[in-house]
């Protein structure tokens, strides 16, 4: 959830999109669910995360680039087009952020990129999620860079448990967030109660539920599915028939 001015800059800033979505959710939740409607993603700043991605890229040694930098269309046999992959718990490359693979300045750059992607009011919540799910910032997270930062196509991807965030410099038109993102929180255990106590993102789930509350009976019936697919079965598909409201 992810970058400073992110995707759709030519038509709708990523932050504007989130602000609009929050406003819609607030309208639907006026009947009782408390939702502050704050943007998750950061407002534009002087030094953008995209600029910092280029600084990070330029600082990498050839050995580092061989491990974490890839061509734009890099594919693997088991993961396919790597820059489009998402999962609930994964590492896109082997070196973790706090390992000695990176020097102190590079670690600071990665942290600044992350904080530039996320609205400051959400920083503490994300850091709590990192602590609960991965033992703290950087301990279970890894990154990859696709393309050449500063060119017309590049993307920075940050991964870990319950976390896939992207910063792409708006190099892909009509692709929200630079591609699929994922964030979640196992605050106490993997088997949480119905109100998910301690989950830092729970208010967003309530906002999403507010959309369902806005639907009439026929729309709800069309939107409902008997059972959610397993996470491993969720992926990109071509044109076809899909469950839910068209």
Spatial distance between the Cα atoms of 116 and 124, rounded to a whole number of angstroms: 13
Q: CA-CA distance, 164 to 141, in Å (whole number)? A: 9
Q: What is the pLDDT of residue 105?
A: 98
Tens place of pLDDT per residue across the chain (246 aa): 444 333 334 334 444 444 444 444 333 333 333 344 455 655 555 569 999 999 999 999 999 999 999 999 999 999 999 999 999 899 999 999 999 999 999 999 999 999 999 999 999 999 999 999 999 999 999 999 999 998 989 999 999 999 999 998 777 777 878 788 888 898 887 677 788 888 999 999 899 899 999 999 999 999 998 887 776 666 666 676 777 887
Say which residues have a Cβ less than 8 Å from residue 74's Cβ, sequence separation at least 6. Answer: 81, 82, 83, 146
Q: Where are the domains of the chain?
A: 14-183
Task: Compute the distance between CA of residue 101 and CA of residue 66 in angstroms, rounded to an integer.
Answer: 12
Contact 42, 5 (CB under 8 A): no
Of 140, 190, 163, 158, nearest to 88 by C-alpha is: 163
Residue bearing tokens 């920083």? 123
């Amino acid at each position: 959830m992810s970058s400073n001015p992110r995707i759709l800059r030519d038509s709708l800033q990523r932050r504007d999109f989130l602000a609009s979505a929050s406003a819609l959710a607030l309208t639907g939740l006026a009947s009782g669910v408390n939702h502050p409607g704050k943007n998750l993603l950061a407002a534009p700043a002087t030094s953008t995360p995209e600029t910092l991605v280029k600084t990070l890229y330029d600082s990498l040694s050839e050995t580092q680039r061989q491990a974490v930098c890839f061509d734009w269309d890099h594919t693997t046999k088991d993961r396919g087009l790597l820059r489009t992959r998402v999962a609930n718990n994964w590492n896109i490359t082997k070196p973790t952020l706090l390992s000695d693979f990176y020097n102190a300045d590079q670690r600071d750059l990665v942290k600044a990129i992350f904080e530039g992607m996320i609205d400051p009011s959400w920083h503490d919540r994300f850091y709590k999620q990192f602590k609960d799910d991965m033992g703290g910032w950087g301990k279970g997270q890894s990154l990859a860079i696709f393309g050449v930062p500063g060119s017309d196509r590049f993307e920075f991807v940050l991964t870990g448990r319950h976390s896939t965030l992207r910063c792409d410099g708006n190099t892909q038109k009509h692709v929200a967030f630079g591609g699929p993102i994922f964030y979640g929180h196992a605050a106490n255990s993997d088997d949480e109660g119905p109100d998910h106590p301690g989950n830092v993102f729970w208010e967003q789930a309530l906002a999403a539920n507010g959309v369902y509350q806005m639907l009439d009976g026929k729309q709800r019936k069309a939107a409902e599915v008997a059972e959610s697919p397993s996470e491993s079965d969720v992926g990109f598909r071509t044109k076809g028939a899909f469950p839910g409201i068209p």
